Amino acid sequence: MAERPVESGGLNGQAAPVSAATTDGPSAGGLQLDSVVKRYGATTVLHGLDLEVRAGEFMTILGPSGSGKTTLLRLIGGFVSLSSGKILLAGRDVSRMTPAERGIGMVFQNYALFPHLTARQNVEYGLKMRRWPRRDRRQRAEEMLDMVGLGDKSDRLPRQLSGGQQQRVAVARALAFDPSLLLMDEPLGALDRELRMRMAGELRRLHRELGTTVVYVTHDREEALTLSDRIAVLRDGRLDSLDTPEALFAAPRSSFAASFFGGHNLLPGRVVDVGGGSDTATVECFDTAVELRSGGGLAPGGSAAVVVPMLCCALDGVTDGRTDAGPGVSLTIDDVLYMGEFTQVRGVITEGGPAGEALVIQLAGHHVNDIVPGTVRRFTIDTTRCSAVRWSDDP
Q: Which of 74-83, 167-176, 324-333 has the lowest mean pLDDT?
A: 324-333
CB 46 within 8 A of CB 72: yes
pLDDT band at 321 (very low <50, low <70, confident <90, very high): very low
CB 108 within 8 A of CB 177: no
Q: What percent of the chain has pLDDT over 90?
A: 52
- The domains of the chain are located at 20-248, 252-389
**Any residues with CB less than 8 A from the CB of 127 and at least 6 apart, and which?**
136, 137, 140, 141, 176, 177
Instruction: Give the pLDDT confidence of 34-60 residue by residue, as tens digits.
Output: 999 999 999 999 999 999 999 999 999
- State phi, psi for 231 to the nearest 5 degrees: -125, 130
Predicted confidence (pLDDT) at residue 240 exceeds the cutoff of 70: yes
What is the per-residue pLDDT for 153? 93
The class of domain 20-248 in CATH terms is alpha beta
- If you average pLDDT over residues 370-391, what whole number do you get? 91
- If you average pLDDT over residues 175-187, what whole number do you get? 88
Predicted confidence (pLDDT) at residue 261 exceeds the cutoff of 90: no
What is the per-residue pLDDT for 76? 96
Numbers of helices and strands, H then E, in the chain: 10, 20
- If you average pLDDT over residues 368-387, what whole number do you get? 89
* CATH 2.40.50.100, applies to 252-389: yes
What is the per-residue pLDDT for 351? 94
Predicted confidence (pLDDT) at residue 302 exceeds the cutoff of 90: yes
The answer for 207, left when phi > 0, alpha when psi is -120 to 50, beta otherwise, is alpha
Predicted confidence (pLDDT) at residue 313 exceeds the cutoff of 50: yes
Instruction: Give the pLDDT confidence of 262-284 residue by residue, as tens digits.
Output: 789 999 999 999 987 678 999 99
Q: What is the mean pLDDT of the chain?
A: 85
